[in-house]
A and B are shown apart, each in its own frame.
Chain A
Amino acid sequence: MKADPAPDMVRAYLDALRSALKGSSPGLISDALADAEEHLQGEIASNPDKTEAAVLASVIETYGTPQEIAEEYKSMEAAIAGPFPKPEPKPERQAGFFGVISDARAYGALMYMLLSLATGIFYFVWAMIGISLTVPFFLFIFGIPFALLFVGSVRILSHVEGRIVEGLLGVRMPRRLPAQASASETVWARIRDSLTDIRTWSSLLYLLLMLPLGIVYFTLAVVGISLTFACVGGSLLGLVSGHSYIEFSDVAWLDHLFHTAPGLLLLMLAGGLLVFLVLHMARGIGWLHGHLAELLLVRL
């Protein structure tokens, strides 16, 4: 019945499950791994008199082999898309350039861009303080628990960032915190695990990267929004009051143009167009950033 020999350790089981799920969405893989780990650890905890290997051997009979479990998750993902009504319908490909105005994702992305400066600064400062304290602390005995604490905080921050990214950018991220090492593992084993876990490093890189990215995103968003308001508001005010407040002292013909009614109307039109351009930019950046976050924060 079983094609492969039964894995005899939780880690090996999870690895087998991960490779059986290869090609599925990262969020699905992470859900499946979290479920399996919860169940296997639960089984081990409720059979304290048996060895881990003995428990696992019997669990595979009742829980299922990695291949079977992978099948279940894949068919469930397919089934939700099929006969059942989808609770969150996929946003249809917005028709044309102007469709972006009704795309909630574009506004979410714009929100994210404004937020990213604050979160970026916080992540960067946190990561820098953590790194610069962890390294010298390794000279002392409390360097080890401090390093563990820092790695834990990086995981929590990445998880929080994942929730923000999913909420505002619409990229599916893990619904739960990454699995923690079981309490029985030694401190050294935990440190070794977190140092060899590529995601610890990629999450740290993401947190550091968020400062420059946040600055760029925030600047683009603020410039885009204020330029739009300036164009529309300035020209509207000029038209209503009969006096143009728009000054282009360096470019004489533009300055002249914006002191005429047709020029102001043109400017208003440009401002209106800018709304769509800014939303398109936000949606594009949101898409790119969502995939960057998925790459660096979700264990592949």
Chain B
Amino acid sequence: MIEETTYTRKFRKELMAGLSSLVLLAVLARAGREMYGYEIAKAVKAEGEGGLIFKQGAIYPVLRSLDTLGLLESRVEASAFGPPRRYYSITDEGRRALSEWQGAWRDMREFVDDALAAHLAGSAAVVENRA
């Protein structure tokens, strides 16, 4: 990845602050079973381009906050080796939140895309004028 400016990193971080909750709910809803943190981290990485812009370590506090909010529920199970694992699964309230958030995300994406398209059209017009 190209080294980014501090502004860009901050911008990414702010974008991800809300979206990470949406992504994690989606991952757990699609899995339809309990998953533990490391497994979820790997699943999020497998999502594709989102993987690298999102540090895996940032998933865990988000999982805990979703758990606190009641959108996920969790239980701890000892693992055969290493420390015990916390398994998360999505609650009914979490599924409701997910479908609402998906709507919010679609609106937001259209709004941003429209704004960017207008901007692109504007700069294209400037280029034509200069030519």
Contacts and interface: CB of A to CB of B under 8 A. Distances in A.
Are A and B a genuine interacting pair, yes or no?
A: yes
* Secondary structure dominating the interface of B: helix
Contacts of A223: none
Interface stretch (B83-91, B112-120, B121-129): B83-91
Interface stretch (A61-69, A107-115, A242-250, A254-262): A61-69
A192 B64 CA distance: 32
Given A68-B55, A72-B58, A37 B65 contact: no
Contact of B55 (A64, A73, A177, A180): A64
B67 to A, nearest CB: 9
A42 interface: yes
A35 B82 CA distance: 12
Interface string A23-53: 0000000011011111101110100000000
Interface stretch (A79-87, A140-148, A232-240, A278-286): A79-87
Interface in A164-213: 175-177, 179-180, 182-183
Given A45-B82, A183-B82, A62 B55 contact: yes
| Range for the number of chain A residues in contact with chain B | 35 or more
Contact of B38 (A42, A64, A69, A80): A42
Interface of A: 1, 31-32, 34-39, 41-43, 45, 62-64, 68-69, 72-73, 75-77, 79-80, 84-85, 87, 175-177, 179-180, 182-183
A112 B111 CA distance: 55
B65 A64 contact: no
B28 interface: no
A45 B82 CA distance: 9
B34 to A, nearest CB: 15
A35 B37 contact: yes
Given A76-B61, A76-B65, A84-B69, A37 B55 contact: no
